[in-house]
Each structure stands twice: as structure tokens, then as C-alpha cells.
Amino acid sequence: MTPAAHALAAIEVLSEIESRHRPAPQALKDWGGSHRFAGSGDRARIASLVYDALRSRASIAWRMGAETPRALVLGALVFTRSADATALAAAFGSSPHAPEPPSDAERSAMTSGDSLEGAPAHVRGDYPEWLDVPLARAFGDERAEEGEALARRAPLDLRVNALKGDRAKAERSLAHLKPIPTPLSPWGLRIPLSDDGRGPPVQAEPAYLKGLVEVQDEGSQIAALIAAAAPGEQVVDLCAGAGGKTLALAAGMRNTGQIYAHDSDVRRLAPLNERATRAGVRNFQFRSPRGGADVLSDLVERADLVLVDAPCTGAGTWRRNPDAKWRMRPSALEQRMVEQDAVLEAGAPLVKPGGRLVYVTCSVLSEENEDRIAAFLSRHPEFRSVPAVEAAVSAGLPAVAAHANGAGDALLLTPRRSGTDGFFVATLSRS
């Protein structure tokens, strides 16, 4: 397929998303299923263009004067990928499998619409208008800049597995991919993306297949490092999911002590056993929900560390899932807040006196972060907040302390401030 054909396909996928209100991954999957001639490389390029259009949907629509799928794709090509409007017209006009060449009005918008002067914050920041108030709570007058950073492409970060080697060994193994050390995580490597935003297939690399590296954003690595799981400790990963942070915690424990991986949905735990085997992790147990049984009752007041990687809106991961921000509704935020309170309540009794509870979200919204911690502490005076500086220094990450939130009682990572996905990390100590 030609680049012009990729553009036509991206318009078709965006039309499907708009007309049938479908998630982008499902629309892309269905398009690929009905266009078998498109190879894996073609499908990846089409997906990359669709996501570029969704990341900057509001600002592209402002510049183009329209929010149609066609306008979004043309805008993504010009404003994100720096395509030349004249060259686009020539490419589209020379192929039968291409969009119609840009009209005079479209060409005018593409050549003169580079400025967002006068645009409201939610347009400059590329987020839904209703989120302007929550984001203003979190970032004040800098909310548009924070949103714009969340609309850029995400890097491809890897975590080096300390059970299998060190960062130097991983760098040698992946030298052909030109990895660079991440600035904050001592176990991170960042792999350059291609011009169209795609990363190499690292899951096919021997370093990955042998468990030396895992795909994990640097912000997620920092959250696990701040939790500071130590050799010999008893650790509960309460919302383990597919186990990314479970494996990171286990590496810090050097296969001693015990880590208990739990999730309310047993299906999310399914990949963890295979991943743990590949990573060489031997000190974890599944605690899968069984009917109405309390599978954690024997761990009450036994845990040195309880990690609560809480369900959230994912407002810190919009770089990777831009479709989510446009599908997000106020009711979803309210439901996540209820779930966050519930999982904190479930984790608190497991922490032994002198132990710690680490609350993590991949959100930047105060409603899911500071508000939940304040509500929890009002119900549990036996816990106190550990200052972000203290938590970072104790974890051997003094530079991370620069990313404390305004109150200084938690870390708030964002693409603009720390170059990571958006993460909130609060450490609570039980007296």
C-alpha cells in the first residue's frame, strides 16, 4: 500500500469510530479483517496515523475548520508529520486508491492554520472541554501545556530485569536498536521510534524472549521503585493485572520473601505466570478470587508492603491510548473514585504495623489522587503520608523528588515534567 492508500484507510477507520462510536483498537482490527490484502506493516502505519489524528483531534479541528475524519487525517499529516500540502495534493491525485486531493479551502487551512492563537485551553491541550475544570485543579494555568504533552507520541521504554542482568548487558544486546538510558529510572532503556511513531518489534528480540527486558514505561518503573520492595519482605500487589509491577517488585526482592499477586478479575492475571517464568521470578503466589471467598484474610497485618495500583481513568496514559480521552465521561470518573476508595479499604488491613501502603494511579486528576488519599487518611488515622522527598531518597532516587506534587506529600509525574506517562504515587506508613 502507498502512503496515500494509508491515508484513505485511516479516514475509513476514523469514520467507523465516529459513526458507530467504536473504540479505536476494535475499529482498526475490523478494518484489517475486512482488508486482508493489507500486510502487518500497512496495518501498523494506518494505526499510527489514526492515533496521531486522535491525539490532536481538537487542535487539528481548530486549525482545519472542521472535525471530519478527512480533516483530521489531513491535519495529522501536515501538523504532526510535517507533510507538504502541495506534495499531498500530487500524491493523492496520482493514485486511484487515495483520498480526493485537498480542496482550495483545505490547502489554505493546511498552509495557514499552524497557529492556535486565541484557542481555548482545551483546544490547545487537546482534551475534552468538560475536563478543563479538573485539569485546572491539577495544573492551573499550565493545563493546556500539560495536555499538549499528553497528546504527543509516547516513547518505547524497557525495564531491565535485575534477576537476569544489568543495564549495560541489555544495552549490548539491543545495540542495533540504539537504546539510551532513561533519565530517572536506573533500570530503564528508551528505544527510538520511527518517523511515523512506530517502535521496533522488541518482543521478538532475544533479550526480551530470555527475560532480560520487559516493556514498561519509565513512570511505571519509578512507581515500583518508590514502593521499594526489599529482599525477604512480604508484599501484596493488590491490583496486579497482567503483572508488570509485580515483576518489577520481585526483581527488587531478589527472589526472596514472598509477593502475592491479586486482582479482582482473574482474567487479567492470566499472562503473569508465563511472564514470571520468562523473567526468572520464583517468589510469587497467585491469590485469585474464588467465588465470594476472602483469599487475603490470612494476610491481615502481615504485609510489609501493599501496592495499590488502583483502577483509574488512565488520564496519564493518553499518549498511548488517545481514543480514551475522547470516550471518557464524567460518570466514569465518579465510578473510578468509588472503586479507588474501595481498593484502599481492602488494602489497609493487610499492612502490618510499621509497614507501608503505596497508592498508584496512571492519572493526573486530583479527584483520583490527592482527594482519595485525603479521604483515606480521614478514615484511617493510623496511617500517615510519607513526604515525597523522603520516599524518593529512601528508594535511592533523590532526583525523582523534584517531581513532588504541590503539597509535597506524593509524586506527580507527567510527560511535560518528567518525560514519562502521567503517574501519581503516594506512600503511606502505618504507625
**Burial of 96 (C-beta count, 10 Å sphere; 0-12/13-18/19+):** exposed
CB atoms within 10 A of CB 115: 9
CA gap 75, 126 in Å, rounded: 14
Q: What CA–CA distance (Å, rounded) separates 289 from 24?
A: 31
Q: Give strand ranges (E) for 258-327.
A: 258-261, 284-286, 303-309
Tell which residue, 238, 230, 226, 227, has the closest CA to residue 262.
238
Q: Are 237 and 246 in contact (CB under 8 A)?
A: yes
Distance between CA 329 and CA 308 in Å, rounded?
Answer: 24
Helix (H, G, I), strand (E, B) or coil at 173: helix
Whole-angstrom Cα Rg for the chain: 23
Q: What is the DSSP letter of 78?
A: I
Residue 30 assigned to a binding site: no
Closest CA to 187 of 206, 211, 213, 156: 213
62-69's contacts with Cβ under 8 Å and 24+ in sequence apart are: 62/113, 62/116, 62/119, 62/123, 63/109, 63/113, 63/114, 63/115, 63/116, 64/106, 64/109, 64/110, 64/113, 65/105, 65/109, 65/113, 69/10, 69/11, 69/12, 69/14, 69/15, 69/18
Residues 6+ apart with CB under 8 A from 282: 255, 276
Set 191, 229, 362, 426: catalytic member: 362
The three-state secondary structure class of 66 is: coil
294 marked ligand binding residue: no
User: Please, what is the end-to-end C-alpha distance for the chain in angstroms?
Assistant: 63
Respond yes or no: is residue 362 known to be catalytic. yes
Torsion angle of alpha carbons 313, 324, 307, 331, nearest 10°?
20
Q: Please report, in range form, the residues annotated as the binding site.
A: 263, 309
Q: Please report, in range form, the residues annotated as the binding site for S-adenosyl-L-methionine.
A: 263, 309
Give catalytic residues, as residue numbers.
362
